[in-house]
């Protein structure tokens, strides 16, 4: 069995000889020429996803005013940012709500406005110190007028995710969208066979330091995502059945494109952010070809009942992405309409764009500097009412 190294593949990218296809295109190639043939012909497979990812945000450094201020409270367009850092550093979280506009505008909108080049109103207060005497400041900023603006998303790019439904008698409003009563709909939220970690189920090619597409710019995998759950039970092909691993991502907000980062409001839930992520998987060996050629029919997830507002929700059925994509699924004796929350059209566009970058020699693959953990599950938090 042959082997191609990251260096060999990058050499091909530099000389513009790399053969790159998307994770959907590789399926047809494997059908036509087999795993061995696909390994010989193709060097890199690109993946994409464009989904709401709440655990997102950006670090900003505003620069110093004169006299200077040690900002202890910061608002951007009336959305509070976390300022418990050095004098003019702050972190704006995607789900933070505006103090004046509530759920219609939040941190994700601030981030989208900054990426779009719009002016954002900065307001800061302080208790004042000898070295930072100013106690209040108001200013207009843009992404270009401030020092650093980098997105740092603690949990993105979930490796599969549970689908959602509602067995109760009332409509419920969740981060999985509007769920109609009595199993009126099933919502799901991954790009299936095109999704980054579904195509590399054991994280052989993606790890800390991997270069990625993030919001239209080149970004990096910074760490494992929060609530990382690689020990989730897996199917025979290695793909976890339901939410499993995830990634912490970092990238330069100033280089991003508002097309690939989009603020979102989920009715009666709150603000979140669509994040466009793309990954490039080097076909190191035939095993990687088998992984990236996974099909929707072989990617399974469970449908959970979101009317049970508990940590563990009952699973109603196990279904494949082929079934979810068909427009309806069977739950018991009933046929329930399905709808995605993740844009497959945008995921395809991202995989295609990343492919174009690589073909043109503009994006080289970065071999991970450390591996992601292959085992581990999130811990629960128990409410403690004692002393």
Partner 1 sequence: MALQKSTEVNGGICDGTCAAANARTHAGVDAGTSPTGTAEKRIKALLTYPPGAVGKPITYSLVRQFDLWINILHAEIAADKAGRLIMDILGDASDIDRGLAFLEDEGIEYEILNGSALWDEDRCVHCGACTAVCPSHALTLDKNDWSLAFDREKCYLCRLCTRACPVGAMSTPI
Which residues are marked as active site? 131
234 strand-pairing partners: 240
Among 130, 310, 345, 375, binds partner 1 (CB under 8 A): 345
Task: Say if residues 148 and 59 touch (Cβ distance below 8 Å).
Answer: yes
β-bridge partners, 233:
none
C-alpha closest to that of 195 among 231, 171, 160: 160
b/e per residue, 159-187, with b = 16+ CB within 10 A? bbbbbbbbbeeeebebbbbbbbeebebbb
Residue 258 to residue 279: CA distance in whole angstroms: 19
Binders of partner 1 among 32-51, rule CB under 8 A? Answer: 50
Measured from the CB atom, the residue of 187 and 210 that comes closer to partner 1 is: 187
Least distance in angstroms from the C-beta of 173 to partner 1: 9
Distances in Å between the Cα of 310 and the Cα atoms of 188, 272, 292, 373 are 19, 21, 35, 28
Residue 258 sits in the site that holds partner 1 (CB under 8 A): no
Q: Which is nearer to partner 1, 24 or 43 (CB)?
A: 24
Positions 268 through 327 that interact with partner 1 (CB under 8 A): 272, 274, 325, 327
**By CB under 8 A, is residue 187 in contact with partner 1?**
yes
Q: Which of 167, 185, 231, 328 binds partner 1 (CB under 8 A)?
A: 185
53 binds partner 1 (CB under 8 A): no
Closer residue to partner 1 (CB): 6 or 175: 175
Q: Judged by CB under 8 A, which stretch of 62-70, 141-149, 218-226, 343-351 contacts partner 1?
A: 343-351
Q: Binding of partner 1 at residue 354 (CB under 8 A)?
A: no
247 and 156 in contact (C-beta within 8 Å)? yes
Distance CA 305, CA 102 (A): 28
Q: How far is the CB of 50 from partner 1 (least distance, A)?
A: 7
Among the listed residues 124, 263, 319, 350, the single contact to partner 1 using CB under 8 A: 263
Rounded distance between C-alpha atoms, residue 367 and residue 359, angstroms: 18
From the list 178, 227, 237, 328, which residue makes contact with partner 1 (rule: CB under 8 A)? 178
Nearest distance from C-beta of residue 193 to partner 1, angstroms: 13
Please report the DSSP string for 85-126 in residue order: SSTTEEEEETTPEETTTEEEEEHHHHHHHHHTT--EEEEEE-
Interacting residues with partner 1 (CB under 8 A): 50, 52, 170-171, 177-178, 180-181, 184-185, 187, 262-267, 272, 274, 325, 327, 337-346, 348
């Amino acid at each position: 069995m042959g082997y191609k190294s990251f260096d060999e593949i990058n050499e091909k990218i530099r000389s513009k000889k790399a053969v790159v296809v998307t994770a959907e295109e590789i399926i047809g190639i494997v059908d036509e020429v087999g795993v061995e043939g696909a390994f010989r012909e193709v060097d890199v497979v690109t993946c994409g996803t464009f989904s709401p990812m709440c655990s997102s945000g950006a670090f900003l450094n505003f620069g110093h005013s004169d006299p200077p201020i040690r900002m202890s409270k910061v608002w951007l367009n009336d959305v509070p940012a976390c300022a418990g850092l050095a004098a003019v550093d702050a972190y704006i979280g995607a789900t933070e709500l505006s103090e004046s506009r509530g759920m219609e505008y939040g941190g994700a909108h601030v981030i989208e406005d900054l990426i779009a080049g719009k002016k954002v109103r900065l307001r800061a207060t302080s208790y004042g110190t000898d070295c930072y005497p100013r106690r209040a400041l108001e200013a207009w900023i843009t992404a270009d007028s401030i020092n650093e603006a980098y997105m740092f998303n603690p949990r993105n790019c979930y490796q599969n995710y549970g689908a959602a439904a509602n067995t109760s008698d009332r409509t419920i409003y969740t981060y999985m969208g509007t769920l109609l009563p009595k199993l009126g709909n099933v919502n799901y939220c991954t790009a299936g066979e095109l999704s980054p970690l579904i195509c590399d189920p054991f994280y052989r090619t993606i790890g800390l330091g991997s270069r990625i597409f993030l919001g239209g710019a080149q970004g990096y995998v910074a760490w494992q995502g929060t609530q990382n759950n690689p020990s989730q039970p897996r199917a025979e092909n290695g793909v976890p059945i339901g939410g499993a691993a995830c990634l912490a991502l970092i990238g330069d907000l100033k280089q991003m494109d508002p097309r690939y980062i989009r603020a979102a409001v989920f009715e009666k839930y709150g603000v979140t952010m669509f994040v466009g992520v793309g990954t490039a998987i080097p076909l190191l060996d035939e095993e990687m070809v088998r992984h990236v050629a996974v099909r929707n029919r072989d990617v399974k997830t469970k449908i959970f009942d979101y009317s049970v507002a508990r940590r563990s929700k009952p699973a109603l059925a196990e279904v494949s992405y082929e079934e979810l994509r068909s427009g309806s699924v069977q739950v018991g004796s009933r046929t329930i309409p399905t709808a995605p929350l993740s844009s497959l059209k945008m995921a395809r566009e991202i995989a295609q764009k990343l492919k174009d970058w690589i073909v043109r020699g503009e994006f080289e693959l970065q071999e991970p500097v450390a591996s992601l953990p292959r085992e581990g599950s999130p811990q629960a938090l128990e409410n403690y009412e004692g002393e």
